[in-house]
Structure 1
C-alpha cells in the first residue's frame, strides 16, 4: 500500500481533526531528504498549505513532491492554472451547459453564488454535480468558486484555493468526511497498508446495460490482483478526482472519445498511472472511419468499402448506382451493433444516409460479408489472450439485435488459440501492432480462405463464463500480471 503524506503549514492547523501519523508540516516536508527513493516515489501527497501562489511555500511543496516522483494534489500544473484566469476559463468552459441546466431547475438564485468545494463535495446537495465537475477539471483539495448572473447566463467569476484554517465548524465536518472518502488510506492501519504493494482502480458504470465485464468477472479481477499484491478497487466516473491515489487504471466501461472514459484515461496517464485502455488506443479504436483508413493504408485485409461525406450527399445517387447490394452502412463510433444498417438498395442508402449524417459528417459504407459467426481474438501485450466465436443472433445478420427496446444476442464458444486457424491469429496480431500494446479484441470474419479484420476493440468483453471458458482464473491472473509488471517498471524508472 502506498504511503500518504498530508502536508499542512503548522501541525496546529490539524487540531480540529483526528490525529494522524500521515501528517507533516510544510517545513519538515521540504527539509526531508528521502533515504529510500524507491519507496518515496510511491508516496501520495495531499498539500493543504495556505500559500499555493507561485514560489510560495505550498507551491514548493507540490513542486518538490513532483520532483521526487510522488503523486501530489494539487499538482504544479493545477496551481499554474489556478493562477491564470484565462487557463481557468479554458479548463472550465465545458461547465456552461451544466450552469444553464442548474439555473433552469432553480438551483442557482440571486445575482451571485459562492460555492466551497472539498475534494469534489459541497454542502448543497443540489450543487453536488457542479462541485464534482470543478474538482475533476482542477483537482485541488479545497476550492472556493464564485459565480455571477450575466445577460447570457451564469458564469464563473472567480476561483481560488482555500486554506484549511478558513473552514467553519460545519465545513470541517464535511472536509473530514470528504477526505476520508477521497483517500481511504488515511485511516488504515500500518498493517493493512503493508498488505498490498500497489493500488489499481477498475472504472465501471453500474448502470451500463452491456458492460465489458460482468459482476463475476469483476470479482475475479479483484481476487487475481490481490493474489499478486495489488489492492483492486471499483470506481465510477464520480471518482475522477481520486485517480492520483492509484498506481493503475483498468477501464471496464464502454469507451468513447467525447466521454468521461477518455478524459479519465488521459488524466490517469498524466498522473503517471499504468492505463488500460490508454488514451491512444481509445482514440484509434473507437472510430470505424479511422480504423478503415488505417487498415487499408497498412495493407491489412478488411472489407471493401468507401467513405461517404455529408457534403457529397447530392452526388450519392451516382455513387450508389455502381454498387452491388446488400452493403453495410456504419456510423464511425457505433458499438454493440448499434449505428450499423444493412442496405438493400440505392433508395434505402439515400434514406439511411440522410438520417445518419445528422450525427456524423462521415459514414463508412462496406461490403456485406454474411457469416455464421465472427472470431474475436483477445490480445494483451502483443500476445493472444483468448479466442472466441460470437454467433449471430437467431434470425438476424448481427451478433446483437436491437428491437423494441430489447437486446438479443447470439451464442458463443471459446477455443484454445492452437485450434484457431493460423491466418486468423496472424491477422489479429498484425492489426493490434498498429494500435499499441494494450488489451484489444479483434473481430474477424473468415470466408473460405479469405480472412478480414472487421474492427479492433480497445475495450473487449471479458465476461466470466465466456472469454474465460478455456483459461478460467488464469485469464484474470495473466491480465493482472501485466499490470504488475508495468507498475514495477514505472517504479524502477522513478528510481
Structure 2
C-alpha cells in the first residue's frame, strides 16, 4: 500500500478543524496543498494537513500570508468554467501559489482546436510505441495518466511528453486507429471516479510527483529559496563539471538556498522551485529551451532565460546586432543556399583561409576553416545540409581567446582559453583525452585588458541582463567579438580558479536579489 493510502474516516474525528489546517499549511515556508471538492473524495488515502476542500480554499484569505511559497494540486471533480475547480486554480494564481492544473491548461483542454496542434508531433511516435503491444489489434482505447505516468511501458515516454504539454494530475487520453494510430482526444480525469487499482497507481504517481508532500523534512532549518539546476550527467562537454555543481549545492546551503540538481525527466516538477539555473548546453530545438520557457511562465527566476537562449544560440543574430551597433568583430558575410554565385566571390573579399560557421553551432562544432575555393565549395555543400544560411568570416588567429563572464551587466571573471594542441580552435573534437581542449588561465577582472572587458560588457548588455560568456580576440590594439554564450562554462578548477567559492556566491546572490525584488512586486 502506498504511503498516501489508508482511510480518511478512521481518523478524521481526530483531525484539527479545517480552517486551522489550512491556516497552518499556508503559514509553512514551503508547503503543498491538495484540494479536493469533497472530503470523501480522499477517503481511500491517509488524512493530512495538506488536504483542504475547494470551499475551504476559496474562502481562505491569504493577504496576510503574502510571500509564502505554496504548491497547489487541484483535484476537484471538474474544472468546468466558473466551477469550483476553475476558481481554485484561478485564485491560486491570483494568490501567487503555483498550481496544477493552471487556468491556461484548463482552458486548453476544453477545445481540441486549442490543443490539437500540440498533439500533431506526438502522433508520430504512437505507431512505433504500439506496434507490438496488446492494443495493436484494437481500433481504439483510452489511457489514464497520473502526473505523466502510465503502467504501459512503451507509452511512458509519450505520457511524460503529454504531461509536459498539459500539466494536469489526471489525464484521459483517447487513442484511435484510422490509417495509423493518433490521439483522438484528451481531457482531465477525476479522483473520485478511480477504481481501486487506479487509486494505487495514482497514489504512487503522487508520491513520485512531489518530493515535498509526504516526506519528513531533512532538517529543521527551512531554506529561504529552492533553486533547481538543470544538468545532464551524460553530457560529454557540460557547461559545469560535477565538482562545480557540487559547489553550487554546498555554497547554496550556507546562503539558505536549497539547491537541487534536476534532469530532463523532472520537467513536471519545475513549479516546486523558485528559480532555475540551466547548466546543460542550451538549444532552441531541445528540452533546455522548453525548460526555460516553462520556468518563466511559472514565475521562476531563470538563467538562461528564453530570450537570451534565442539571441545567443544564433550567430546570424549576433552578427547583425554587432554590425548595427558598430562593435568590433571579424569581417563577416552571410551566405545563402539559394545564391551559390556568392560563393565564388566571398573568398576574394575575405581572403583565404576563412572560416565557415553554422549559425547555431557550439563548442567549435559546425565550424570549418577552408584554405581554398575548392575547399570552400565542399564545406558549404556539407554545412548547407544543416542550415539555409551560413556565416563566412575572416580568419583571425590568436594564441588564445578571451572569455569574459558577465552577470547582470557586470564582469565577474576573465579567462584566457588557449587553442587545442596543434589545432586552430579551443576545442578539437577529433583529438583524444586532454588534447580535446586547450589550456586555460583565469585571472582577476582588473588584470584583463580594459578594452577587452569594456567591449565584452557592452556586447553582453545588448543581449540582456543574465549570465553570459563573451568570447573575444585581441591582436595589438584590435579587439573583436567572436560570440556571446548564454550558457557559459563555470567549471571547478577553471573559471573559479581566481574567485573560488565567490564565483558560485555571485551567481546565487543574483538569484536571491531577483527573488527578493519579485516578492516585493518590483522589477529587477
Give the aligned partner of residue 15 of structure 2: none
Give the aligned partner of residue 441 of structure 1: 469
Q: How many pairs align? A: 493
Taking the aligned partners of 1:96 and 1:390, their CA distance within structure 2 comes to: 45
Give the aligned partner of residue 326 of structure 2: 299
Taking the aligned partners of 2:298 and 2:346, their CA distance within structure 1 comes to: 48
Give the aligned partner of residue 119 of structure 1: 147
* Post-superposition CA distance 1:293-351 (Å, at most 9, x none): 11111111011110000100244224434441000000011111110000101111111
* Post-superposition CA distance 1:165-208 (Å, at most 9, x none): 22222322222222122111112346847511211111111111
Taking the aligned partners of 1:74 and 1:292, their CA distance within structure 2 comes to: 41
From 95, 103, 108, the equivalent of 1:76 is 103
Taking the aligned partners of 1:223 and 1:430, their CA distance within structure 2 comes to: 33
Taking the aligned partners of 1:251 and 1:220, their CA distance within structure 2 comes to: 15
Give the aligned partner of residue 55 of structure 1: 82
- Is 1:23 aligned with 2:51? yes
Bigger shift: residues 341-350 or 164-173: 164-173
- Is 1:229 aligned with 2:256? yes
Give the aligned partner of residue 491 of structure 1: 519
Give the aligned partner of residue 378 of structure 1: 405
Give the aligned partner of residue 329 of structure 1: 356
Taking the aligned partners of 2:224 and 2:284, their CA distance within structure 1 comes to: 32
Give the aligned partner of residue 313 of structure 1: 340
> Structure 1: any 5+ residue segments left out of the alignment?
none
Offset of 1:92 from its aligned partner? 2.3
1:391-402 equivalent positions in 2, closer than 5 A: 391-402=418-429
Call closer, same or farther: CA 1:405–1:107 in 2, change over 3 Å.
farther
- Is 1:367 aligned with 2:394? yes
Give the aligned partner of residue 193 of structure 2: 166
Give the aligned partner of residue 4 of structure 1: 32
From 5, 13, 17, the equivalent of 2:41 is 13
Call closer, same or farther: CA 1:63–1:472 in 2, change over 3 Å.
same
Taking the aligned partners of 1:16 and 1:494, their CA distance within structure 2 comes to: 44
From 233, 254, 262, the equivalent of 1:206 is 233
Give the aligned partner of residue 368 of structure 2: 341
Give the aligned partner of residue 492 of structure 2: 464
- Please tell me the root mean square deviation across aligned C-alpha atoms, in Å: 1.8
Query: Does the 8 Å CA contact 1:102/1:108 hold for their aligned counterparts?
Result: no
Taking the aligned partners of 2:333 and 2:133, their CA distance within structure 1 comes to: 49
Query: Does the 8 Å CA contact 2:130/2:154 hold for their aligned counterparts?
Result: no
SS at match of 2:81: coil
Call closer, same or farther: CA 1:403–1:108 in 2, change over 3 Å.
farther
Bigger shift: residues 55-64 or 8-17: 8-17
Call closer, same or farther: CA 1:369–1:399 in 2, change over 3 Å.
same
Query: Does the 8 Å CA contact 2:36/2:54 hold for their aligned counterparts?
Result: yes
Query: Does the 8 Å CA contact 1:2/1:197 hold for their aligned counterparts?
Result: no
Offset of 1:405 from its aligned partner? 8.0
Give the aligned partner of residue 355 of structure 1: 382
Bigger shift: residues 91-100 or 245-254: 91-100
More RCO (CA 8 Å, sep 6+): 1
- Is 1:90 aligned with 2:137? no
* Post-superposition CA distance 1:256-306 (Å, at most 9, x none): 011111111011101100000000000000011111111111111011110
Give the aligned partner of residue 310 of structure 2: 283
Query: Does the 8 Å CA contact 2:410/2:457 hold for their aligned counterparts?
Result: yes
Call closer, same or farther: CA 1:188–1:468 in 2, change over 3 Å.
same
Taking the aligned partners of 1:404 and 1:95, their CA distance within structure 2 comes to: 38
Offset of 1:36 from its aligned partner? 1.9
Call closer, same or farther: CA 1:65–1:192 in 2, change over 3 Å.
farther
* Post-superposition CA distance 1:437-490 (Å, at most 9, x none): 110000010011111110000000101111110111111111111111111111
- Is 1:129 aligned with 2:133? no
Query: Does the 8 Å CA contact 2:77/2:191 hold for their aligned counterparts?
Result: yes
Query: Does the 8 Å CA contact 2:229/2:277 hold for their aligned counterparts?
Result: yes
Give the aligned partner of residue 20 of structure 2: none
- Is 1:416 aligned with 2:428? no
Query: Does the 8 Å CA contact 2:350/2:393 hold for their aligned counterparts?
Result: no
> Structure 2: any 5+ residue segments left out of the alignment?
1-28
TM-score by length of 1: 0.96
Query: Does the 8 Å CA contact 2:404/2:415 hold for their aligned counterparts?
Result: yes
Taking the aligned partners of 1:100 and 1:405, their CA distance within structure 2 comes to: 40
Query: Does the 8 Å CA contact 1:200/1:232 hold for their aligned counterparts?
Result: yes
- Is 1:44 aligned with 2:49? no
Query: Does the 8 Å CA contact 2:350/2:394 hold for their aligned counterparts?
Result: no
Query: Does the 8 Å CA contact 1:107/1:126 hold for their aligned counterparts?
Result: no
